[in-house]
Amino acid sequence: MKYGFFDNKKKEYVITHPATPASWSNYLGDTRYGAIITNNAGGYSFFRSAVQGRFMRFRSNTIPIDQPGRFIYFYDMETRESWSASWQPMAKPLNEFESVCRHGTAYSIITSGYRGITSETTYFVPLGQAFEYWLCKLTNNSNKKRKIRVFTFVEFANHWHMYHDTVNLQYSQYIIKSRVAENIIEHGINVNLSLDEKGSANEAAKYSFIGIAGANVSGFDTDREAFLGRYGDYKNPEVVLQGKCKQSLAEGYNGCGVLQTEVELEPGESKEFTVVMGIGRINDTGKRVMEEASNTALVKDRLKELIQHWHTRLSHFTIESPDSSFNSMINTWNPYNCLITFAWSRAASLVYAGERDGYGYRDTLQDLLGIIHILPEEAKKRLELMITGQASTGGAMPVVKFYGHKPGMEKAPEEAEYRSDDSMWLFIAIPTYVKETGDIDFFNKVLPYADNGEDTVLNHMKKAIIFNLNRSGKHGLPCGLMADWNDCLELGHDGESVFVALQLYYALGVYADITKMLGHHKETSWSKEQQLRLGGRIEEHAWDGKWYLRAYSENGQVFGSEKNQEGSLWLNPQSWAVISGHAGKERARKILGVVKERLSTKYGIMICDPPYVNEELSVIRAVLFNPGMKENGSIFNHTQGWIVMAETLAGNGDNAFEYFRSSMPASYNEQADIRQIEPYVYSQSTHGKHSSHHGASSLPWLTGAATWAYYAATQYILGIQPDYTGIHINPCIPGNWEKLNITRYFRGKTLHIEIRNPGKIQKGIKKLLLNGTTPIKGNFIHEYMLSESNKVLAILS
């Protein structure tokens, strides 16, 4: 079934049927004040951290998963009938209740109609602010005067730390206190303690507020049980059903933010009011922002400013291709997904509910790839932060704290805590940043290690190489340590990862290229020599005759061999053998053919096959998962970009785009009941063919899949590849694409690129023309040749 469509002009996804297979969400705000909102106004808000700053309550794994949320209830004072501004929570029959949700770039608009009354509520966080607006417009579409009583509802957390609020109830239920003044509810936590201005100490006074601007408040409730009723719920709150607030004040137990107002509407008349919720006290923040919000024109101007801010970001790379769904993803939703993931890592969603409060090392370095061209300065700051998360051993801290990371003063991980792939991601993140910006001197920048000492960025990279060279197993391949990229492989510390061996092979090639460019010829020779040696060991011990092995455990067990009954073929070594250059042209053709034959499904490429059912847990933790789920034979979407890259490197544009489209969310807009989650953002995994839920996806939004999909699409399918001194135009596209246009912002200059494919081939530049007069040899345009605005014509042959 189809539940919505892409509005490419407005850069919105429009949900036309509110009973979506799952709660379809969006993000509001920024890394100071963040919020999640769904198509039915569910979700929560948080200050700086979704773990330690969640001031709105959120309960994991409920039905529906997004409640409570930001609810507005209506009560007809004549008929005494009640409903909500979103379909949930009151869930009126859909043959009587209409609801449309427009998820945009950091805002959402929910429009609903019931019994002749239309409400349009726009939710957003103004740029740089620590509060959110719910701008509500009520319209009387009936032929008689209507008097509607309005109730806001938000359930405040009793403690900003998610554990204390949801689990440690013997403590958190006795530390809250509410007060009401100036049409504003103030919800206080630990009110007997002093205020923490930074909002980072959990045992300090903390305050949030909610108010209504543009309407007179006639009642309130701040006690949740008083509002809902002792046996009530969000669908049938006692106060709404009775049509009148009780003026309850919470002191302990559970607080909420309910404000009552009345709106009288003549036939055809519309009126607006704004609900404001945020961080702070009534006197120091609440009154000021409420006064601002009473100016509806100002609220709307702030929305326009927000939209312009995001649309400017998304204008840095745009396309017109023959595939409209591909256009929707590349022009809006994929980079937007990357930006949200960059902001919140894996810390805040309807699924990630407080397990991690920091930047995962491997995740964050990869997350940079999708946003460097949009936010180069912010990317640089994050990249420097992650480099300072590298220990002086060359390995890395698994997680770098959001706040409070102290380079040079952190405790280095124990040997058993290192993951073998973590530092290898530096060899994509650092060159991608330098190639995008031209900041070659970045390699010479001195940055501290996490624990002690400091070094140039280039030497940080060498330390990462030496870390894995010094930790090799009996076959001379890098040890698996605590884990390689796949946390479910139980290799043991001295087991060996073929995947990391191929990453290291790639890293040595990158290091050789950089040192050659910088004139460090001894380093170049050293790197090439090490790469040659490692390549020989990979050839001898990792090539299984038809494909590459996955790993060796420390007791000698082989993973990914044709001899294995379970897990005989793994995707990652095959894609990375091509990406790293270890697999030559003929071998690449061979292993990519095996991948297509054995691992390809209509929803993407499986991570391994067959899945594990009978293997011991001590050998592979993936056996914990049902066959076809997660690391046990699912379509792990993080890996899809890598196989797309490999296919383009082999010149297979048709296969590359087929694979890209098979896992692209927009491909399943009309099959949403199968995919279930949002059709506009990427997810961690999709169930493989061995699962009874084949095609269903899970863990949307915060995933490296978004970054790798975007990176593979823009740099490998579309082929726009920045380099240290210029930019390559090197597309690898479906043979039936005759033409496409790309606009790319690069180092302060704009490139308008037209690609023509008269011969209907997949890869290869016949002619490259710059600004109508300058022929370019090959596919590389030097930066010095570019003007402020440029026209590039590329003809394939």
Residues labelled catalytic: 487
Q: What is the DSSP string of 440-451?
A: GGGGG-EEE-SS
- Identify the bridge partners of residue 180 per DSSP, sorted by sequence position: 185
SS3 351: coil
Q: Sign of torsion, CA 612 617 620 626?
A: positive
Phi and psi torsions of 570, nearest 5°:
-120, 145
Is the preceding peptide bond at 758 cis, omega within 30 degrees of 0?
no
- Rounded to a whole number of angstroms, the distance between the first and last alpha carbons of the chain is 41
Neighbours of 300 (CB within 10 A): 15
**Which is nearest to 755 in space by CA: 746, 34, 747, 764?**
764
User: Is there a contact between 173 and 158 (Cβ–Cβ < 8 Å)?
Assistant: yes
- Taking each helix axis from N to C terminus, what angle separates 426-437 and 376-387, rounded to the nearest 10 degrees? 150
CA distance to 316, 337, 342, 645, 712, per residue, from 370 (Å): 12, 9, 8, 15, 10
The two tokens of residue 356 are 């991690």
**Which is nearest to 333 in space by CA: 344, 347, 309, 317?**
317
Helix (H) or strand (E) run with residue 608 in it: strand 608-609
581 CB-near residues (< 8 Å, 6+ apart) = 505, 506, 509
Q: Sign of torsion, CA 781 785 787 788?
A: positive
CA distance to 63, 87, 246, 312, 315, per residue, from 332 (Å): 30, 27, 46, 11, 9
- Taking each helix axis from N to C terminus, what angle separates 498-518 and 521-541, rounded to the nearest 10 degrees? 160
User: Is there a contact between 290 and 213 (Cβ–Cβ < 8 Å)?
Assistant: yes
User: Is there a contact between 328 and 343 (Cβ–Cβ < 8 Å)?
Assistant: no
User: Is there a contact between 347 and 51 (Cβ–Cβ < 8 Å)?
Assistant: yes
Region for 796 from its dihedrals, namely left if φ exceeds 0, alpha if ψ lies in -120 to 50, beta otherwise = beta
CA distance to 427, 434, 435, 505, 757, per residue, from 440 (Å): 14, 6, 8, 23, 35
Residue 486: exposure state from Cβ atoms within 10 A (0-12, 13-18, ≥19): buried
Helix (H) or strand (E) run with residue 172 in it: helix 169-172
Phi and psi torsions of 217, nearest 5°:
-85, 125
Phi and psi torsions of 501, nearest 5°:
-60, -40
Distance, in Å, from the CA atom of 301 to the CA atom of 299, rounded to the nearest integer, reads 5
Q: In 565-699, where does DSSP find H-type helix?
A: 571-580, 585-598, 640-649, 653-663, 672-675
Distance, in Å, from the CA atom of 257 to the CA atom of 155, rounded to the nearest integer, reads 6
User: Is there a contact between 389 and 372 (Cβ–Cβ < 8 Å)?
Assistant: no
Neighbours of 289 (CB within 10 A): 23
487 CB-near residues (< 8 Å, 6+ apart) = 621, 631
Question: What is the largest distance, in Å, between two alpha-carbon atoms of the chain?
Answer: 87
How much of the chain is helix, strand and coil, in % rounded to 5?
A: 30, 30, 40
